[in-house]
Amino acid sequence: MKTITTFLILFLFHCIFPLFVSATDITALEYYYDIDPGMGNGTAVTITPGSDITKSFIADLSSVDFGFHILYVRGKDENGLWGIPYVHPFLKAGGEITHIEYYFDADPGMGSGTAVSFTPGRDVTVNFSPDLSGVSKGQHILYIRGRDENGSWGISHLKPFYMVGLTSTPDITYVEYFIDTDPGRGSSTPVPFSPHSQDVNLNFTVDLTNVSAGAHKLYVRAKDSNDDYTIVYVKDITVIDPDTDDDGLPDDWELLYFGNLDETATGDFDSDGLNNLGEYENNTLPDNPDTDNDQMPDGWEVLNHLNPLINDAGEDPDHDGISNLDEYQNGTNPRDSQVTGVLPAILLLLNH
């Protein structure tokens, strides 16, 4: 019999906060029940700031009445912008959990699923292996639910899975991801990994270049050595616009160097002849006219194809005997050697 291991938590409200993806750091996290108390007025959750946040925490249910409720969780980034809340319906039961059962795909009716052995209690954590002997090859859904001592049933927890129908588990040979719309198997963005094995744990960066700001869904799909595909991971993500004023300059870069978003791409904050967009594209300092401190302005170096990030004042790329710094001070082109012999003669006369 082929088995899969399932981990179930009932009525101990242990939450895994969903993945938030942002160009800026997530700095605050809060939750509330049913009615929004206003942004910043929920129950705070301690986190380590970062652009990608996955948080596990215990939500306080002491003031929540028995019955059905909705838990909302949301985050705030370093610019003070709040994300779209993650929503999780749940049932707070009033007594001990006395029965747990599971079933596949079609509901056989409450109390008619396959029972799971456990010790009754208010907070129950159960590890068990469901019987898959009667499950056909293909995509299925495992449902798990519990009942308390008062006869009230909780909401079913569900877990999609793919039954490969083999006596041995094949290796994972290919992983890909897509956002929102499925482009077709094998046509999504591939995730390189090695070696191929039955169990694969991956950390990778999702390309959000062409993804609009707002709420989206990330899907990860895997293919095994038998060419069977299955969705192995689904996450709600929130993409924050990195350039809210659409000037080609990331907001966090503008705030770092200018302290506001008032500067434009064509402006020249440090008056070095290189506009702000040019500073960003060349990794130079927009508030320092000479990033490498070689006495040649960044704009002049970029215009003449020199490196504004290293001190190349003493170099002579056109081999005319005149250094870059002398070329700048004398208004000549450090890439044009046509003045070779003329300028040194002029300088020699000036020195007499």
Q: What is the pLDDT of residues 17-74, one digit of tens each?
A: 444 445 578 899 999 999 999 999 999 999 988 887 788 888 888 888 877 789 999 9
Whole-structure pTM value: 0.39
State residue 347's pLDDT score: 44
Using a pLDDT cut of 70, give the percent of the chain over it.
Answer: 88
State residue 40's pLDDT score: 94
Instruction: Report how far apart, in Å, the C-alpha atoms of 41 and of each of 6, 38, 64, 73 are.
Output: 36, 5, 17, 12
- Characterise 79 by phi-psi region: left (phi > 0), alpha (psi -120 to 50), beta (else): alpha
State residue 117's pLDDT score: 93
Token pair in block for residue 125 = 């954590």
Confidence of residue 13 (pLDDT cuts 50, 70, 90): very low
State residue 46's pLDDT score: 92
Q: What is the pLDDT of residues 58-97, one digit of tens each?
A: 888 888 887 778 999 999 988 899 988 888 887 776 678 8
| pLDDT surpassing 60 at residue 350 | no
More confident residue, 350 or 92: 92
State residue 165's pLDDT score: 63
- Residue 218 neighbours by CB under 8 Å, 6+ apart: 19, 177, 179, 206, 233, 234, 235, 236, 237
Confidence of residue 352 (pLDDT cuts 50, 70, 90): very low
